[in-house]
Chains A and B, each alone.
Chain A
Amino acid sequence: MKILRIGALGITTHRRTFAVGLIFLAVLTAVFIFALTMGKADITVLDSLKAVVGIPVGAPGDFIVGQVRAPRALTAILVGATLGLSGAILQSLTRNALASPDFIGITMGAGTGAVLTMSLVSATSLWITAAGATVGALITAGLILALSWRRGIVPLRLILAGIGIGFVAQSTTQYLLTRMDVHDAGTALGWLVGSVTGRTWTHVTVAATVLAVLLPIVLWHARALRTMEMGEDTARALGITVGRSRAILAISSVLLAAAATAVTGPIGFIALVAPALALRLTRNAGVTLIPSALMGALLLLTADQMSQLMPADLQFPVGIFTAVIGAPYLLWLVWRASRGGPS
């Protein structure tokens, strides 16, 4: 396998990983342009691109592309990337393909935190919802860790504890909904489905800010993450400060999942599927962060476009759509694990 080294930056990657990453990026760009131009209003590619960056192109383009399609597509891209990254980190840390934030209850905890915020502060701003989701996700993660910790992380215990805590979080959310003001409950219910419909530039800004802060931190620890996949002893013998790196990476993963959930509501399966697909296509040995993020972006944007292409009475939110695609993959994982294969 050929190695590509970008000397000045000290970046090393497989040529195949790099090439596959470029292909992901190309396809993502194509789907993005498709997302901007397809729809009832006929707007040219050039006009749509101008409208995205804020150059006036006239009545329908400025509003439909500039205020509707572009923020929606960009939200899908950023949240998809955030989920892909979050899942890749968690799966790598636990060395388990099932350990994604939506599967082990982190997303549900973020949901509870967000709904609680909505019930306390009526018509709240997105930033406050995001803060609530973050607190909810961190508390959930702390509980999961406390329940599963046995002189180290035991992946199976972590996943089982996570599923349990996830159910508790979901029932808490249900309870909160029954106690909320009817109008707020309606908003919360709509949000809980998980969707990128009607997202604005504020949503794009929140998602972009979180990603801009956390991505460099995560990439800085990418080598530690890869080394820890060889076991704790090996990583420490290779000079990795395991405890610190693992804490930083785990918290980053939880924060990424919380931010994604705050922006779009809980969207399942992207964090579970994207890292696995990225790994399969790049044939990388061990976690591959950037391709996982790109794959997450591509999956969520494509899923949203596909859900929009459905006939009007069959259109449903993207969260339901990703579940339809993701569930068979999950069943396959469980089936393979039950046959004693590597999980």
Chain B
Amino acid sequence: MSRLEAQHAVIGYGDKPIVRGVDVTIPDGKITAIVGPNGCGKSTLLRALVRLLEPTEGAVALDGENIHRIPTREVARRIGLLPQSPIAPAGITVKELVARGRTPHQKVLRPWSSTDETSVMSALHSTNLTSIQDSVVDELSGGQRQRAWIAMALAQDTPLMLLDEPTTYLDISHQYEVLDLLHRLNERQGRTIVMVVHDLHQAARYAHHVIAMCDGEVAAAGDPTTVFTESLIRDVFDLEARVLPDPITGTPIVVPAHGPGGTQ
């Protein structure tokens, strides 16, 4: 089953297509990773899936309906997004930031409800931010800040969450902190998660479903073991590599074959 799909979608800015006619299906209740080299159209696809860009041909369907026919606020109640570089207003506290995730559920003259409060508290709890909820976001570490943004998207209470490079700019322990959080949210709350990631090992280990993109097209899609093959890495990333099983999980690890100590 899938609530979110792209059908023959051509997506681009102006008349220059970046994504050239893709069919993508996001499996419900799973973690999907979108991978591919820089400029392959990963983020463009993600932006179209969340209605920030309108396909010039084809369509994105949410619950079987063209997403561009659904009002902005209604989309925001079904899909949450963590953009690549969100801006935290100066001086905002963690709790205030998370509370802003409730925006699509609020109306101008409607009071803050107990549902709003519950969602915010539970988002703070799932991201382990309860104890620092009154801290100012600018003063947090990179990992904590990213968790606060994820908590904001969580408070939005959407069944689908899309994240554009949630681990970029974080050091390795914070990257895994964020990925473990996403894994927990998926396991315990059954949320469908779609993320653009660069690290293939992380994609293979954390995602159930991988979409590999190359030159604006989908090169392969499926579970990580079938997608990450030596020939696909060569075609998509132009990299000679060996694919080995992760000693802990058995998921694929991509190791370059050339370079120091390898074949030239």
Contacts and interface: CB of A to CB of B under 8 A. Distances in A.
A9 B13 CA distance: 42
Contacts, number: 90
Given A12-B112, A285-B93, A237 B106 contact: no
Interface in B72-88: 72-77, 79-81, 83-88
Contacts of B76: 236-239
Interface residues of B, number: 40
B89 A239 contact: no
A233 B83 contact: yes
Given A238-B101, A239-B75, A285-B93, A230 B86 contact: yes
A227 B108 CA distance: 13
A7 B111 contact: yes
Nearest to A8: B111
Contacts of A227: 100, 103
A58 interface: no
B169 to A, nearest CB: 16
B91 A230 contact: no
A183 interface: no
Contact of A223 (B13, B87, B106): B106
Nearest to A2: B134
Contacts of B110: 10
Contact of B81 (A95, A234, A285): A234
Contacts of B111: 5, 7-10
12 contacts: A1-B96, A8-B111, A10-B111, A12-B112, A95-B87, A230-B100, A233-B52, A237-B79, A239-B72, A239-B73, A239-B103, A285-B89
Interface of B: 13, 47, 50-52, 72-77, 79-81, 83-93, 96, 100-101, 103-104, 106-112, 134, 153, 156
Interface of A: 1, 5, 7-10, 12, 95, 151, 220, 223, 226-227, 229-231, 233-234, 236-241, 283-286, 342
List the 4 closest pairs (A to B, CB-CB), nearest first. A239-B76, A285-B92, A239-B104, A237-B81
